Structure 1
Amino acid sequence: MSMEDIISKWQLKVKNKQASIDMWNSRAPGFEKNKSSSLEESSFLQLLETYKMLNPDASVLDVGCGTGSYTTAIARKCKDAIGLDFSPEMIEIAKRKAADERINNVEFRSADWHEIDLSEAGLEKRFDLVIARMTPAVQSAVTFQKLSLASKGWCVLSKATRRVDPVSDAVKKLVGIEERRESDLDIVYAFELLWYQGLQPRFEYEEQHWHLENTPEEAYDLYINRVKTYRDITSDEEQEIKDYLQSIKMNGLICEDIDTTITTLYWHV
């Protein structure tokens, strides 16, 4: 497969951007409870340390930063850091957390990586390290290539691959959506693009299990908006999803156990 073939096949899948924003805004309060990541607890941060991607003179960009847990941890180890996310609610929480932790060398911006012009935003070839960890910001060849365009040093991309989401999969099946938005092909395409460019990307793997607990209202926002990123749904379909979620409720909560392999790809531009 040529580079042109990969770029043609690896296109953005999200059909409804606002539904995606609404979904992540609704999840922001849950993410606010997460503490900033630490070197001792995070294999991801240990990877950055091992390959000396962080140093006191480094500038870092965190694409799809969410509530800034990694951005603030990284800022403690470098000169300055910028976190970008298209969810305004996530960004507001990130700003509050950085202020609470008195981290002054970090900036958070609400911006859509799919649409941002790096040159106009002053981000082109500005950073010693660009990371995109567990984010929908990188879902196409164009958004992937932007990582290298923003970097003058290292880039790191982490995706949840070989992932099984039992509740989400059942909800999509209810409304006839068979396509899975897995990141397996994203990682394959990313590797091939870098290889064709003469670079030498490397991989790391980490097995994870996540247990989610949501109130019915939180679950409606999460699963209905997730479906709406694929296509619009009717009021009957929306009610069918709500009825299904109610049917699996236990002790007032809707739970989901997710198994995944976190695949991290890293390269030097």
Structure 2
Amino acid sequence: MVHYARENAAAAGLQNTEFILSDWDSFHYLESFDLVIASMSPAICKPDHLYKMIGSSRGFCYLSSFVERHSCLKETLYTLTDQHYIRQFNKLNYIFNILWTKGIFPELTYETGLHKRVFPLEKAKGIYSRELAVLDNPDQLARVHQYLEKVAENGVVTEALQQRKGELIWEIV
């Protein structure tokens, strides 16, 4: 993402931009930024992380996260591996409430849609095996691979994700 941000800034002729790739816990910068973005990032997962984000901005903050995300394929794979499919924590409402109690009133928008992940079968086997953490269990690994082979069409696995993404933007006053 940082690569594309730099390309887009250069294409727009922007000279006053800086893009930093860093782990949030170890990130320390002396100056604040006009805009701090946490787009689909797991970094903002507790109040201290949110306060650090706010403290890093002198202008605006933007945060996006999935509110809902459902995949029949993933649910089936979890069931086949004797695991429970845990839906993603809705941190957006949590963060909204923290901001509201601090006197910060963010704009909140939602976008609902269908997203497809498409992978060649062999790549899908690797991805879903890691996502379900079954690499060390030969029986579960075999069940994942067999199911993916069954649902693959022309050597391609397609996962349809029903999702709702939420976005918060607020000004630092």
Pairwise TM-score range, normalised by the shorter structure:
0.7 to 0.9
Aligned to 1:177: 83
Q: Deviations over 1:217-240 (max 9, x none)?
A: 221232122223xx8852222222
Is 1:159 aligned to 2:50, yes or no?
no
Instruction: State how 1:246-261 maps to structure 2 within 5 Å.
Output: 246-261=149-164
Give 2:98's aligned amino acid. L
Aligned to 2:8: 73
Give 1:210's aligned amino acid. H
Q: Deviations over 1:128-180 (max 9, x none)?
A: 10112123333443433332132122110111222212222222232233242
**Structure with greater strand share of residues:** 2
Larger radius of gyration: 2
137-146 or 167-176: which moved more?
A: 137-146
> How many angstroms does 1:68 deviate by?
4.1
> How many angstroms does 1:125 deviate by?
4.9
Aligned to 1:240: 143
Instruction: Provide the C-alpha distance between the structure 2 equivalents of 1:233 and 1:190, rounded to a whole number of angstroms.
Output: 36
Contact kept, 8 Å, 1:207 with 1:261, in 2: the verdict is yes
Q: Normalising by structure 1, what TM-score? A: 0.55
Question: For structure 1, which runs of at least 5 residues remain unmatched after alignment?
Answer: 1-65, 85-110
Task: Please give the secondary structure, in 2, of the residue aligned with 1:177.
Answer: coil
Instruction: Provide the C-alpha distance between the structure 2 equivalents of 1:199 and 1:69, rounded to a whole number of angstroms.
Output: 31
Instruction: State how 1:67-216 maps to structure 2 within 5 Å.
Output: 68-70=3-5, 72-73=7-8, 76=12, 79-84=16-21, 111-113=22-24, 115-118=25-28, 122=29, 125-183=31-89, 185-216=90-121
Aligned positions, number: 170
Q: Normalising by structure 2, what TM-score? A: 0.82
Contact kept, 8 Å, 1:125 with 1:152, in 2: the verdict is no
Q: Deviations over 1:21-77 (max 9, x none)?
A: xxxxxxxxxxxxxxxxxxxxxxxxxxxxxxxxxxxxxxxxxxxxx464456435635
Q: Which has the higher contact order (CA 8 A, sep 6+)?
A: 2
Instruction: Provide the C-alpha distance between the structure 2 equivalents of 1:125 and 1:153, rounded to a whole number of angstroms.
Output: 12
Give 1:116's aligned amino acid. S
Question: For structure 2, which runs of at least 5 residues remain unmatched after alignment?
Answer: none
> How many angstroms does 1:187 deviate by?
0.6
> How many angstroms does 1:263 deviate by?
0.8
> How many angstroms does 1:244 deviate by?
1.4
Contact kept, 8 Å, 1:162 with 1:260, in 2: the verdict is yes
Contact kept, 8 Å, 1:204 with 1:263, in 2: the verdict is yes
Of 122, 125, 128, the match for 1:223: 128
